[in-house]
Amino acid sequence: MEYTIKQAAEKMNLTAYTLRYYDKEGLLPFVERDSAGNRLFTENDIEWLGLICCLKNTGMPIRKIKKFIQGALEGEHTLQSRVEMLLEHRNAVLKQMEELNKNLEKINHKINYYSGCLDTYKSSQHSQAH
């Protein structure tokens, strides 16, 4: 099955503009075009888009994503470098998650603190009403 850029964008919850930008940045060198020059996305292209979105959403710079894709297109002799890129990125994501969890703990602490203050305030307002 083939998808137009609009269909591929909808399927991936992206905009056609984003897909055109990715193409311009060299992230979609595998996407074919029809005789009119329109991009045609295959199921395999959609899978690649899923990986591109995953890497981008977790903070990998576009230049590194492009390097990863170029390596994949070059063949199996780049497997080691691609695995190393993914390991490095995974470590960065884990560090980011650790930082987010620390921040979440602080937010939860403040929610508990202010909820207690709110309960005390409501109790004092209720006492004053009587």
Each of the 130 residues of the chain gets a pLDDT tens digit; together they read 999 999 999 999 999 999 999 999 999 999 999 999 999 999 999 999 999 999 999 999 999 999 999 999 999 999 999 999 999 999 999 999 999 999 999 999 999 999 999 988 888 887 776 6
The reply to whether 62 and 23 lie within a common domain is yes
How much is the pLDDT for 125? 83
How much is the pLDDT for 68? 97
Range of the domain at 41: 1-74
The reply to whether 25 and 6 lie within a common domain is yes
Which CATH number is 14's domain given?
A: 1.10.1660.10
Q: What is the 3-state secondary structure (H, E, C) of 47-106?
A: HHHHHHHHHHHCCCCHHHHHHHHHHHHHCHHHHHHHHHHHHHHHHHHHHHHHHHHHHHHH
